[in-house]
Amino acid sequence: MLEPVLAFAVLLVNHALGAELFLNPGMEQPDMVGTWGNAWGYKVDRINTDSHSGNYSAKLYQRTQSYQGIGQDVALTTNTRYAIEGYVKLLNNNSKMSQEFEFMIRYQWSNDFSNSSWIQIGFHRFAHPKDGWIRVAADFTTPLRQWHLANVYIQGPDVGIDYLADDFSLKEVPENTTWRQASLDSIERIRKSNITLSVNVGAQYDPHFIEVEVALRSHEFGFGSVIDDAAYLDLGYVTYQNLLHEFFNWATVGTYKWGYNQGTPTHPNYDRAVNATNALLKNGMIVRGHNMFWGTTGDTPDWAQKLSSDQLKATIDERIRFMTNITYGKLAHWDVNNEMLHGQVYEEITRDPNYSQHIYRAVHAADPSVKLFLNEYNVLANGDSTEDFVRQALSFKAANCGLYGLGLQSHFADYVAPDPILILRRLKRLASTGLPLWITELSLANKNENVTADWFEQVLTIYFAHPAVEGVILWGFWDRMGVNSD
């Protein structure tokens, strides 16, 4: 399989970015004010004692607001793709476990400064001084609306936090008119194969009048949907069940979440999720479990967030034992700790920045047969978290904690056409981790059903064509009910 993978990668790399739009991107020119503007409310020095590359970097210090950071007014074009990156290095910290950085754009719509919109285009969360130089990167598309001024800048660390900045870059992402044909060519290479049939008939039959019918009974590529498990177990929804079995070979059961416990904290009850899983297996389906943990404040039970560090550790270990016991040998995938780029409650309580790696190790030890995933949003449908997810994936991979692959949710904004060029760019970056990729929660919508179908065809072609993608899960396919497992 090496040859098609390389061919696909080379095709994507050949589309170079446009010219550099930032002035003095490497901080090598002495005129910092003329290029990066005045430092209102804080100080910026150009130093030569530490840099990401070259001889100089910018040191930002005595900051009095978290939004203070270097930036430039940049000549951007409406409805155009751009890639941005920069390197930062924390010099100190406060009592918090970590800091965060954000790339922002302030669109000023008229001469009046107050008539402005501030848009986050990329971020890096959970930054530590021990991390050294950190890459913050993203891609984005400018709005259709014309603006008076666009200012691109970095912000984020708390007041009093000093940091270095270097090697900033902002470039246009060019059009790629060959993506569809390249995808179709890739599908021919990696998803199809020739078969030879040998058919013997008796002498009394004329072979010219013999028809051979070949029917695909199953396929290797994963194609599935999250289920409404209440409907799946209800005899009144036979059509729903039959369609699921006919069109898909995978299903996600989403009611394993901690917050979906139908029992008590000490006597949990996940009978409905387990019964749905058993029924799916009986019908030949392969099952993903979503999810064992979800370390955000809104998705971790309130009572668990009030526990001490030791109490929480014991509670999490007990939950791992319970959940792996009731699902042992039943699940093919686990989304172990969901959306960790957007919340790390367990790390905050335990004061251990790597605590989730312990969770993955414990789940893997309890059930080595199930493949464990990181699962995240805004890494394909949007590009503000892609680079951070790559960093997190590589960290878990290096920790050897049982991680198998990356779950890429793919919730596209309603009524907004997916962008093939940016999707391909993000897929390439995510595939660079060397980990298998699954599209775990694909959703998109338009009032026009034909447009919706065209959009699905577009993104499914891209995903099916990429050699690192092993499967696609829709976030529901049935419009007559809500998905009670979202």
What is the number of residues in the chain? Answer: 486
Q: Which residues, 6 or more positions from 447, have their beta carbon under 8 angstroms from its beta carbon? A: 415
Q: Is residue 339 part of a domain?
A: yes
Where helices occur in 328-407 by DSSP H, the ranges are: 345-350, 355-366, 386-399
Q: Same structural domain for residues 222 and 348?
A: yes
Among residues 123, 152, 172, which one ends one of the domains?
172
Q: Are residues 292 and 370 in the same domain?
A: yes
What residue numbers bound the domain in which 366 lies?
207-474
Residue 20 DSSP one-character state: B
**Spatial CA neighbour of 379 closest among 411, 357, 354:** 411
Question: Residue 162 is part of a domain; what is its CATH number?
Answer: 2.60.120.260
Residue with tokens 């026009």: 448
Handedness of CA 401, 407, 408, 412 (dihedral sign): negative
- pLDDT (tens digit, 9 = 90+) per residue, 255-290? 999 999 999 999 999 999 999 999 999 999 999 999
243 with 146, same domain: the answer is no
Same-domain pairing of 275 and 161: no
Provide the 8-state DSSP code for 263.
S
Whether 411 and 282 map to the same domain: the answer is yes
Q: Which two tokens stand for residue 1?
A: 């399989």
Domain termination site, one of 148, 172, 196: 172
**Listed residues 150, 172, 194: the one ending a domain:** 172
d(CA 151, CA 76): 10
**CATH number of the domain bearing residue 308:** 3.20.20.80
DSSP 411-423: BPPTT----HHHH
Residues 225 and 359 in one domain: yes
Q: Which of 169, 118, 116, 125 is closest to 147 using CA atoms?
A: 116
pLDDT for residue 68? 96
216 and 140 in a common domain? no
Tens digit of each residue's pLDDT (9 = 90 or more) over 289-313: 999 999 999 999 999 999 999 999 9
Same-domain status, 153 and 227: no
Whether the predicted model's global pTM rises above the 0.75 cut: yes
93 forms bridges with which residues in the sheet?
A: none
Please report whether residue 107 resides in a domain. yes
Flag whether 372 is in a domain.
Answer: yes
| Interior/surface letters 106-124, b for 16+ CB within 10 angstroms, e for the rest | bbbeeeeeeeeeeeebbbb
What is the average pLDDT across 329-334?
Answer: 98
In a domain, 308, yes or no: yes
Of the candidates 444, 443, 434, the residue with the CA atom closest to the CA atom of residue 467: 434
Q: What is the pLDDT of residues 139-165, one digit of tens each?
A: 999 999 999 999 999 999 999 999 999
Residues 212 and 158 in one domain: no
209 vs 108, which has greater pLDDT? 108
Using pLDDT thresholds of 50, 70 and 90, give the confidence band for residue 195.
confident
Q: What is the pLDDT of residue 482?
A: 45
- Whether 139 maps to a domain, the answer reads yes
CA pair distance 57, 14, nearest whole angstrom: 30
Whether 341 is covered by a domain: the verdict is yes
Write out pLDDT tens, residues 238-252: 999 999 999 999 999
Q: In whole angstroms, what is the distance from residue 373 CA to residue 396 CA?
A: 10
Domain membership of residue 268 (yes or no) is yes
Alpha-carbon distance of 212 to 197, in angstroms, equals 9
Is residue 295 within 8 A of residue 359, CB to CB? The reply is no
Residue 199 — pLDDT band, cuts 50, 70, 90? confident
Confidence of residue 215 (pLDDT cuts 50, 70, 90): confident
Bond into 400 cis (ω within 30): no
- 258 belongs to a structural domain: yes
Nearest to 406 by CA among 475, 356, 468: 468
**pLDDT tops 90 at residue 359:** yes
Counting the structural domains of the chain, the total is: 2
The answer to whether the CB of 441 falls within 8 A of the CB of 473 is yes
Considering the domain architecture, whether residues 211 and 142 belong to the same structural domain is answered as no
Task: Give residue 6's pLDDT band: very low, low, confident or very high (50, 70, 90).
Answer: very low
SS3 288: strand
Rounded Cα distance, 403 and 458, in Å = 30
Are residue 32 and residue 107 in the same domain, yes or no? yes
User: Which residue is it, tokens 């959306």?
Assistant: 339
Q: What is the pLDDT of residue 13?
A: 44
Per-residue model confidence (pLDDT) at position 208 = 86
Domain identity same for 384 and 306 = yes
Give the pLDDT of residue 8. Answer: 46
